[in-house]
Amino acid sequence: MIIDRLFDIIAEKGHVCVGLDTDISYIPKSFMKKFENIGDAIFEFNKAIIDETIDHVACYKPQIAYYEAYGLEGLRAYSNTLKYIREKGAISIGDIKRGDIAKTAEMYAKAHFAGEFEADFITLSPYMGLDSIEPYLPYIENSEKGVFVLIRTSNKGSKDIQYIETKGGRKVFNVVGETINNLGKNYIGKCGYSSIGGVIGCTHVDEGIEIRNSLDSTFFLIPGYGAQGGKAEDVALYLKDGNGGVVNSSRGIMLAYKGKLDGEENFAKYAKEEAIRMKNEILTAIGNLKK
Amino acid sequence: MIIDRLFDIIAEKGHVCVGLDTDISYIPKSFMKKFENIGDAIFEFNKAIIDETIDHVACYKPQIAYYEAYGLEGLRAYSNTLKYIREKGAISIGDIKRGDIAKTAEMYAKAHFAGEFEADFITLSPYMGLDSIEPYLPYIENSEKGVFVLIRTSNKGSKDIQYIETKGGRKVFNVVGETINNLGKNYIGKCGYSSIGGVIGCTHVDEGIEIRNSLDSTFFLIPGYGAQGGKAEDVALYLKDGNGGVVNSSRGIMLAYKGKLDGEENFAKYAKEEAIRMKNEILTAIGNLKK
């Protein structure tokens, strides 16, 4: 089960997931100039970040929208980035949030679990229901793959659907979370978590403990740290015994070089420093929680 | 407003949307052999279908999953197909069901409304809320673009989230539909419909009239016809005064040649015949409803 690999790597290297939402405006001009086309520049920027951070982070999460925006060139960089992460023995999460059913979902599974865009995990959107998750199950069972399904996000608009109150006095996201947690029971690894994980934004502290307890075997992908306002002490509430979740930071790491005098030349070094700082901050918050 | 173009073309050519979910297994072997690579074969197959059907259909909807499954080659075919539809003066719907927020959604908008994958309409998934729709609004307002947001689909799993009963005694899809209908009020064309449309599966007849009445200015993209069990008389209930919706058929049209003796050589002709048959069947059903 892929989830055991992720669990073990977190125990070893901490909870940081590096979000590779690589907009070309993030790439230092002096670095950009070395390459003839956008696809190479994006990939080489990612590669430099990966090379510097790999000993201090759990995984990498390229957000495919940023690559689609640059068309086929961009998607070549997406594909190359995933291949490079695999070559380095690291874990990748393709942040694609696809959500479709039947043969269409089978085609997405083929593309993102076996094809040119192969990742270890992908993110999925659940609005169409459980049959939008089912086509991925054979890969989870037989090919060391995993998914993170959107459960409760931390953006303003999360109120619009996820927080609708149900007849039973709960929220839509509670129902979705429970459904995903139950489905995941069939794919639990040695670590006690399922290869069917959930995306849970980290900014609603009050609900953190409740969600962590109710979704007992669901591993969390936690966005919203740093640039989006989430703090380490909040994040710690969504973890269990110091594991059970990875915490994503994209711009916080990729743009750590901004404002530094020697930032442009040393962007990857500053990315590493920020990854280490974030890793330690989360470990400290977990430690404080135990006290 | 792009919705006026779609409205007018429906009045002229009927309600058929040709779903270009082009799996390579759908392409006749004898046709396939003419091409050196998959991307060309997929595009040329689509082109042949478009050339034959264009006088009898409202629009074309390539489903991007089928193209992603063939990697960069597949996505080249996706891009070429959209360009060809535009060259022919026809309307395209990129069936991408993307759903993300903020800068990520801006990047999807750039990719699918302005970049190499430019379509006239795209489909979106609403689970993350209204701020997952907002980044597309400038294109709707200024660039003759439109969206279809998932409201209520017709697959088995639609029960899992869309049909959750709310505290107020309604269903989640009612709330989503109303939210989309209200947002759409700001983007209504001369035809009375909004360029923010909704995806409404056509297999739940009992709810058809209710949905059509409550979402008064929402134009519907209706999947589920034919292969998925939807009938013309059901579809007619989701239309208003004979307009207000397009009806998608994918395999029903693309695979109409199967089982015919001369099918392989004449696949595009059989696609045309099926498109005309479907168009007339829907027009007849609308006529019967008026009686």
Q: Who among B115, B132, B157 is closest to A71 (CB)?
A: B115
Greater pLDDT, A230 or B103: B103
DSSP string covering A10-23: HHHH-SEEEEE---
Average pLDDT over residues B269-287: 97
Are A154 and A201 a contacting pair, CB within 8 Å?
yes
Percent of chain B scoring above 70 in pLDDT: 99
**Partners of residue B82 in chain A, C-beta under 8 Å:** none
Q: What is the pLDDT of residue B239?
A: 87
Q: What is the pLDDT of residue B79?
A: 98
Burial letters B208-225, b for 16+ CB under 10 A, else e = beebbeebebbbbbbbbb
Are B60 and B84 a contacting pair, CB within 8 Å?
no
Tell me if B103 and A153 make a contact (CB, 8 A cut-off): no
Tell me if A68 and B165 make a contact (CB, 8 A cut-off): no
Give the end-to-end CA distance of chain B in Å, rounded to a whole number.
32
Place of tokens 């999360």: A158
Q: What is the pLDDT of residue B229?
A: 73
Average pLDDT over residues B186-192: 97
pLDDT at A275 over 70: yes
Catalytic residue among A47, A97, A110, A260: A97
The model's confidence at residue B291, banded by pLDDT at 50, 70 and 90, is confident
CA distance B291 to chain A (A): 36
Amino acid identity of residue A109, one-letter, is A
**Partners of residue A167 in chain B, C-beta under 8 Å:** 165-167, 169
Q: What is the pLDDT of residue B227?
A: 66
Q: pTM for the complete prediction?
A: 0.97
Which domains does chain B carry?
Answer: 2-290 (3.20.20.70)
User: For this structure, is A110 an active site residue?
Assistant: no
pLDDT at A117 over 90: yes
Average pLDDT over residues A31-47: 97
Average pLDDT over residues B157-171: 96
Tokens of B157: 């799993």
Angle between helices A267-290 and A38-53 (to 10 degrees): 40
CA distance A136 to chain B (A): 14
Q: Who among B99, B111, B158 is closest to A69 (CB)?
A: B111
Are B234 and B208 a contacting pair, CB within 8 Å?
yes
Q: Where are the alpha helices (DSSP H) in chain B?
A: 2-13, 29-32, 38-53, 64-68, 71-87, 102-109, 137-142, 158-161, 172-184, 205-214, 232-237, 251-254, 267-290
Residue A147's closest CA among A207, A106, A198, A200? A198
Average pLDDT over residues A229-254: 90
Tell me if A98 and B97 make a contact (CB, 8 A cut-off): yes
Q: Determine how β-strand B220-222 pairs with β-strand A220-222.
A: unpaired
Q: 3-state class of B104 per DSSP?
A: helix
**Partners of residue A122 in chain B, C-beta under 8 Å:** none
Cα(A164)–Cα(A161) distance, integer angstroms:
5
Secondary element (H or E) of residue B196: strand B196-200
**Residue A144 region, left (φ>0) first, then alpha (ψ -120 to 50), else beta?**
left
> pLDDT by residue (tens digit) across B62-107?
999 999 999 999 999 999 999 999 999 999 999 999 999 999 999 9
Q: What is the pLDDT of residue A189?
A: 98
Q: Who among A127, A155, A164 is closest to B150 (CB)?
A: A127
pLDDT at B32 over 70: yes
Q: What count of CB pairs under 8 Å joins A to B? A: 190
The neighbouring-strand residues paired with B98 are: B124
Average pLDDT over residues A45-72: 98
Catalytic residue among B97, B110, B240, B269: B97
Q: What is the pLDDT of residue B289?
A: 85
Tell me if A167 and B167 make a contact (CB, 8 A cut-off): yes
Which of B24, B67, B68 is the best mutation test for A, with the most CBs of A within 10 A? B68
pLDDT at B205 over 80: no
Tell me if A167 and B162 make a contact (CB, 8 A cut-off): no
Which of A161, A162, A228, A248 is the best mutation test for B, with the most CBs of B within 10 A? A161
Q: Taking CA atoms, what residue in B is nearest to A106?
A: B65
Which residues have a Cβ under 8 Å from the Cβ of B156 and sit 6 or more positions away?
Answer: A129, A131
Q: Who among B69, B104, B161 is closest to A110 (CB)?
A: B69
Tell me if B131 and A156 make a contact (CB, 8 A cut-off): yes
Q: What is the pLDDT of residue B230?
A: 79
- Maximum distance among all alpha carbons in chain B? 59
Q: Who among B63, B107, B125 is closest to A68 (CB)?
A: B107
Residue B101's closest CA among B73, B138, B74, B126? B126
The model's confidence at residue A108, banded by pLDDT at 50, 70 and 90, is very high
Are A264 and A25 a contacting pair, CB within 8 Å?
no
Are B45 and B1 a contacting pair, CB within 8 Å?
no
CA distance A4 to chain B (A): 28
Q: What is the pLDDT of residue A227?
A: 66
pLDDT at B279 over 90: yes
Place of tokens 């979402």: B215
Q: What is the pLDDT of residue B241?
A: 80
CA distance B4 to chain A (A): 27
Are B82 and B42 a contacting pair, CB within 8 Å?
no
**Partners of residue B69 in chain A, C-beta under 8 Å:** 107-108, 110-111, 115
CA distance A96 to chain B (A): 8
Tokens of B29: 């072997």
Cα(B291)–Cα(B288) distance, integer angstroms:
5
Q: Who among B76, B130, B165 is closest to A166 (CB)?
A: B165
Phi, psi for residue A174 in degrees, rounded to 5 = -65, -45
pLDDT at B203 over 70: no
The model's confidence at residue B204, banded by pLDDT at 50, 70 and 90, is low
